[in-house]
Structure 1
Amino acid sequence: MSDLFTPEAFSDSSGGPLYVQLHRRIADAIASGRLKPGDNLPPERDLAAMSGLSRVTIRKGVEALVASGQLVQKRGSGTFVAPQVERLEQALSLLTSFTEDMERRGRRVESRWIARGLQSPAPEEVMALGLGANDLVARLERVRMSDGVPLAIERASLPATVLPDPDAVDRSLYALLEARGKRPVRAVQRISAANLIARDADLLGVPPGVAGLRIERVSYLPNGQVVEFTRSLYRGDAYDFAVELKLSPEAERPPT
């Protein structure tokens, strides 16, 4: 590993700022496999001695890699190459649950419950679910995991008339709703970028501030009743969302 950080490696003045060169050199080593998941980087003072770079430059380059999720820092242990997470492609044209998505891939599904119960609705839940002032909402908050890797935080809200017993949800909310004849048949989803705050990053096992995907879903029964309002946070390094696009019917018509 020491040959990655020789003074000669940073002697090209046209390569940009030194911390950028260090960032690029470590990132390239991770991408090529020279640095593998779990490898421990030398301490900051040792990197400075090997490379001839200042400790400020070392710190700046390493912090950028931690922020991007390529390195992780463990208090009292050092800086390590982050574990690699298999990227999953998720189709946006299908209304499926997390459990169904993972089982279709042959992966083991787990949940770590954070909270669940019946509560008075927040204003956004009243609006999304069409609730009255005295109605209750069932809230489910959990970390969704596949093969032991945390992938998403799911915060679901349902009218208490649909789910009066939140503790009845086991592995799959949609499986329970289907058994009760309350499974949604269509949904509207909105996806936006998010930088994970410290609490959410800790739940997902990634550094604070890394990129994530925020997905807000409102789901409907066949009669048009809103049955689910879910806000999820997905790891940005683990998911690609894909959707098939087609020409509009007007564009497909031959010119007359």
Structure 2
Amino acid sequence: MMEPFTRVVGQDWRERGVDAPLCRRLEAALRTAIADGRLAAGAPLPSERAIAAGLSISRITVRQALAPLIAEGRVTTRPGGGSTVAGAGPAHRDENRPSGSAGPRRTMLRSHADELAEKGEPVETRLVDRLTGPPSAPEAMTLGLGPGERVLRLYRLHCVGDRPRILELTTLPAAAIDADAAIVSPSAALAAAGLPATRGVERFRAVALGAVEAGLLELPEGTPAMRIERVSYTAGGRAVEISRAFCRGDGYEVVAELSGE
């Protein structure tokens, strides 16, 4: 069953980009197969277990390879329904996504503080907390971390004047970067470590603030806010940063240029 799929990703997929983690090599092979039509839009993918068994790799490696493709909408999943190829171009609409939502927003990769500063407002970033510890299972999967590896978590408030606008939790691979430099600028710290982020995938979701987030943003618990989840990648496809930001609804807006093409 798996031999045809092995031919699709290429018998030599392990040898391509040997400096990259195995999951990123498989991700690259899947991207190529989708782009050149060997994995056609609408084609079902084998299960994670079947792919892992056929390629003699772990299921976590398969999951890490598929995660960016799922986040970008190139592969869609349904609970109990497996995974399906969406296509190589702009992401197809997921049937589980509300009908009024749009596809990926394409814009420049920049920090939330930069977006505030572009409005001409003086921005102050305050460190709330800094923690180093083991990653959660989703963080380990996204960042491609193995057993025993740790992450750096930065909790920061981006303020305009004395008013908090954005609460941001940034998760980075601890072994790769200078923690003190990351407090000032995670992107600069990644670049200094030879891991510059060149692209990212963002998801926007309206939420009601919990007690902790609301307190830090100086709002009543339950206040509506925008939650922005971002995963940033290097040019080689390695995920190097996870950002979860809670933005006050009265101080943040999204502007996107749309095209009919």
Say which of 101, 107, 110 aligns to 2:121: 107
Change (3 A) 1:117 1:158: same
Change (3 A) 1:186 1:127: same
The 1:144/1:92 distance shift into structure 2, 3 A limit, reads: farther
Q: In the alignment, what sits opposite 2:201?
A: 188
Give, in angstroms, the shift of residue 180 of structure 1.
3.9
CA distance in 2, matches of 1:204, 1:92: 28
Secondary structure at 1:183's aligned position in 2?
A: coil
Equivalent in 243, 248, 251 of residue 256 of structure 2: 243
Contact persistence 2:181–2:188 (CA under 8 A): no
Runs of 4 or more consecutive aligned structure 1 residues displaced over 3 Å after TM superposition = 178-181
CA distance in 2, matches of 1:103, 1:241: 14
1:207 maps onto 2:220 in alignment: yes
Q: 2:204 matched to 1:217?
A: no
CA contact (8 A) 1:92 1:241 kept: no
**Aligned counterpart in structure 1 of residue 139 of structure 2, from 125, 128, 133:** 125
Taking a change above 3 Å as real, the CA distance of residues 108 and 212 of structure 1, as seen in their structure-2 partners, is same
Residue of structure 1 in register with 2:112 after alignment: 98
* Letter matched to residue 168 of structure 2: E
Q: For 2:141 and 2:214, locate their aligned partners in 1 and report how far apart those are by CA, in whole Å.
A: 28
Cα contact 1:110–1:171 (8 A) shared by 2: no
Give me the whole-angstrom Cα distance separating, in 1, the residues matched to 2:106 and 2:227. 14
Partner of 2:247: 234
Q: In structure 2, what residue type is equivalent to 1:120? A: P
Q: Give the Å deviation of 1:224.
A: 0.6
User: How many Å apart are 1:200 and its aligned residue?
Assistant: 0.8
Give the counterpart of 1:137 among 151, 154, 159.
151
Aligned equivalents of 2:196, 2:122: Cα separation in 1 = 23
Q: How many residues align?
A: 157
The one-letter code of the counterpart of 1:193 is A
Instruction: Give secondary structure in 2 for the equivalent of 1:132.
Output: coil
Shift, 1:92, TM fit:
6.0
Whether 1:198 and 2:217 are equivalent positions in the alignment is no
Give yes or no for contact 1:139–1:166 (8 Å, CA) kept in 2.
Answer: no
Alpha-carbon distance between aligned partners in 1 of 2:160 and 2:183, rounded to the nearest angstrom = 15
Per chain length, whose mean CA-contact separation is higher, i.e. which structure has more relative contact order (CA < 8 Å, sep 6+)? Answer: 1
For residue 133 of structure 1, report the CA deviation from its aligned partner.
1.7
In the alignment, structure 2 segments of 5+ residues that lack a partner are 1-104
Letter in 2 for 1:133: P
Q: Measure, in 1, the Cα distance between the counterparts of 2:197 and 2:143.
A: 13
Structure 1: which amino acid aligns with 2:251?
A
Match of 1:150 in 2: 164
AA partner of residue 150 (structure 2): L
Contact 2:130 2:155 in 1 (8 A): yes
Q: 1:143: how far off?
A: 1.3
SS in 2 for 1:228: strand
Q: Shift of residue 170 of structure 1?
A: 4.0
More displaced 10-residue stretch of structure 1: 188-197 or 126-135: 126-135
Q: Distance in 2 between matches of 1:120 and 1:235?
A: 30
Is the Cα contact below 8 Å between 1:129 and 1:159 reproduced in 2?
yes
Deviation for aligned residue 1:108: 1.9
Unpaired runs of 5+ residues, structure 1, are: 1-90, 249-256
CA deviation vs aligned residue, 1:113-166 (integer Å, no higher than 9, x gap)? 222132111112112211112111111111111222101111111112332x32
Please point out which of 116, 120, 128 is paired with 2:130: 116
